[in-house]
Structures are given as C-alpha cells and as structure tokens.
Structure 1
C-alpha cells in the first residue's frame, strides 16, 4: 500500500488566472495540458516522485460561496521580514484579507486568493523550515482522532502526532509539506472547493487501492465526472478526494 497525496486540487471559475496567482505565490511554474486545467509545479517536478506535492487548478462553472473552505494551504516563511514581504506581494497579486474566526492578535496572516479560497501565511516556525513554500495542507474536521485512524490506513505517509485537537502527517521519507487535520466547530455543509488527489505506488493496482479505501470507510462520490481515469471518493467525514491513475 503506497497511496500518497500528490496534488492539492483547487476549483476555480478561471483556472488560468488562479493558477498564475498560485504560481507567483509559490515561486513555481504553470502548464496546461488541456483547456480548463492549469498545473502549478516547481521546476523539474515529477508527480510520480515519492515526496512531491503540487497544485492543480480545475475550471468549474460555479463560483465559490461565502462558506469557508474546509481544506486550505498554509505557506511557510523563514523570517518575520519574509512573512511581511510575502503578504504584501500576495496582496499586490490580488489576495484579500480574510476572516475565518481568528482573533486579531494571531501571528499568522489569513488571506484569500482572487476567487476567495482562503489560505494562511505563517509566521516562522522551526518545524516548517524544510518543507518548501507549502508548510502544510490543513483539513478542518470534527474528530481528528477518527480522521487519523482512517488516513493512517489510507496513505503511506507517517502519522507524527494525534491529539483531540489535531492529527499531523508527513511523507514517509520526511520531506515536503505536512498534512494536518484540525478540529473545527461545525460539520461539512458544502462541497469542498479544495481537495487532495492521491496516486498509487508503482507496484499498486488502482482498482485494488480504491476497493481497500472503500473497506476502510470511504464512499463513492458522483460529481458528474462520467467515465474518467480517476475515482472520486469521500472520507468518513465527507471530505472529497480523488485517486488518480499513474499513467
């Protein structure tokens, strides 16, 4: 079993514009293999590499609602000066301040991309000094311990910590961003605008991996995708994710 996160998938009315924003935010490049899909990747990225995580922006006809996304990206910064410079640069690129219930004196800055997808620019934290520009992908949930139990079996990433308030994963090789499940009041009320895409390992059969996920508690999801090479599922709290084919 070597399913692992490979992409943060973001829905957008204008995939190209949102893709360019995230490329500038992360210092990565953009590419488009087909209309309506913009990939944001670092130079030399190989999506089959055992540690790589990139961003994929997919066009949809529906705009984001006022409901806060239950999945978001936290950006890492190495210093307070860099944090301030990054926030200023992102605002110049079209990011707007966002309020998601944070108090006024938190050390991180909450912003939204040009289509309203929330994200955070973190203050310097030692734990994120080697992650690259994405410090962590954060998933709001009601029960971090239950999410840890499901995702620890679902993916080959290492579970580093589990408490009543959060569960933290990182790749099995100890590089790249973290994945955090954060206890957040209120359950899921709307489809996720942001979700994870998983990819099987080179020796794994996709159909068998999907069957294994269903046995763990994942449910099939029909979003009108039709006959595609990936499979759409939800975890036990209803968070959407997709299992991609390797080819």
Structure 2
C-alpha cells in the first residue's frame, strides 16, 4: 500500500502534562519532544502507534458528545482489567458515562476529559500491545473503513452492521464503530498517515484520498507547514505527512 498510519495526534491544553499522564498510563516512554509537540511511544519491541500531543483546543464543556476518536486498552484477564482500572483511577482518570449502559468494558476519561476504554479480555486482541484498538465513531462504519484501508495500510478484516475493523501485520486494530452523531467540530484526536517508500510519494496518497471522498481542510495550519490537512468523507480531519515511512 502507498501509505500507513503512523501517529494518533491529541490536541491538549497542556501537551507535556497530558503526554506524561499517558506515558504512565500505558507504561510507555517519551519520544521526541520540543515546544510544539511531545511524543509517547511504545517500549522497544512492543507494538503500538505513537501518540503525539500538541497545543490546541479549549476545555471540554460539560455534556459535550464523546470524542470521535479514542483508544481501547487491552486486558488479558478479568483480574488484569480490574487492576488496570484501579491503577488508572489512582493515576487521575475518572469514570465516564457515554451512554454505554451495562457492558463488559469500562469507560474512563483522562485528566483533560478524553474518553477511553479498558476492554474485557478478548483473544482477538492478543499481540496488539497495550493499545488494542484506535476507535473512530462513524455514521457508516463499512464505508469509512473502506476509505481508510489504503490510507492506513491495513486491510479490512471484519465487518458487521455496527463495526468494521482494519488490521495490519502488528499493532492495534483501527476500528470504525456505528454512531448516529455526525462530525460537527474539529476533532481533538486525529490520525496521521505517511507515504511508504514502496509507494509513489505523498502526492499520490493525497490524490487517491481526494478521489475516494476526502477534501482539503483548514484547521488554522497556515502556510508553510510540511503536512497536508484533509478531511475524510465524514469530515474527520487527518494529516498526510511529508517524507516516506522509515
């Protein structure tokens, strides 16, 4: 494929502080950091997708709809799930109600109000690492998954009326879960993709995305940035980065 998913980017009120929180929450490590971003990356040899924390956004109003992109964390047993939830609550997470009802997973939110889930044990997530899935809400999960498959460099591996899953050779799933709520404001979490060395470069990636339903997006990035901001067919912003994947 011509590109693949390389980052999940988080708009944060305090990028450094939130990055340190997620570093501890995932038991990962800090990567690249400057005044514009702080990266959190998996330990050497562990699968995962980098989290990039950047300045942006405002405090989330009470009662605002859930983020359209969130993380699902893996657990290998009921006891590990309980221990993970207690660890995260002690770290500063809070329980969250997004209308989930009586479900086997636990919904929490980080110190800036971003929802995430601690999953019940599921064999299909074995080998994903600490993050089982990057989850995107979608009005049409199958259609959005088919749009994202070549961009993320992941084939479609499962599809139902409520959910569609992409998965590469390792690391987390990229999942699209049915939601009736449309995209209305800039996402606080978004995905970055980058052209692969085997592909024909960023221009080809952008051209294919535009042909299949993406559009150019202005999120205040200004002139002279090295990435291109697009929105997928449901309006979710994403960036095509310069340079090929290493």
Query: By the TM > 0.5 criterion, same fold?
Result: yes
C-alpha distance in structure 2 between counterparts of 1:45 and 1:58, whole Å: 25
Which of 168, 175, 195 does residue 200 from structure 1 map onto? 195
Deviation, 1:52, is 5.0
| Contact preservation (8 Å) 1:6, 1:52 | no
Show the counterpart of 1:187.
182
8 A contact 1:111–1:118 mirrored in 2: yes
Residues 1:61 and 1:162: Cα distance change in structure 2 (over 3 Å): closer
Moved more, 135-144 or 150-159: 150-159
1:35 maps to 35
Instruction: Give CA-to-partner distance per residue, 1:147-173, whole Å, 9 cap, x none.
Output: 1231234332110012221110001x2
RMSD: 1.7
Aligned length: 240
Q: Distance in 1 between matches of 2:57 and 2:230?
A: 21
- Separation in 2, partners of 1:131, 1:45: 12
Could you tell me which residue of structure 1 aligns to residue 142 of structure 2? 145
Match of 2:162 in 1: 165
Unaligned 5+ runs, structure 2: none
CA positional deviation for 1:44: 3.3
Tell me the SS of whatever aligns to 1:238.
Answer: coil
CA distance in 1, matches of 2:187, 2:217: 12
CA–CA distance in 1 between the matches of 2:42 and 2:144? Answer: 29
In 2, are the aligned partners of 1:18 and 1:114 still within 8 Å (CA)?
yes
Residues 183 and 6 of structure 1: CA distance in aligned 2, closer, same or farther (over 3 Å): same
Contact 1:73 1:120 in 2 (8 A): yes
Q: Indicate if the aligned counterparts of 1:95 and 1:113 stay in contact, CA closer than 8 A.
A: yes
Provide structure 1 residue ranges, at least 5 long, that are not aligned to the other structure: none
CA contact (8 A) 2:4 2:150 kept: no
Contact in 2 for aligned 1:64/1:193 (Cα 8 Å): no
TM-score (norm 1): 0.91
Between the aligned partners of 2:191 and 2:131, the Cα distance in structure 1 is 14
Q: Which residue matches 1:92?
A: 90
Answering whether residue 61 of structure 2 is matched by residue 58 of structure 1, we say: no
State the SS of the aligned residue for 2:38.
strand
Deviation at 1:121, TM superposition (A): 0.3
CA contact (8 A) 2:48 2:128 kept: no
In 2, the alpha carbon distance for the partners of 1:110 and 1:37 equals 27
For 2:143 and 2:126, locate their aligned partners in 1 and report how far apart those are by CA, in whole Å: 29
Runs of 4+ in 1 over 4 A off after TM superposition: none
The whole-number CA distance in structure 1 between the counterparts of 2:20 and 2:115 is 16
Are the aligned partners of 2:48 and 2:129 in contact in 1 as well (CA < 8 Å)? no
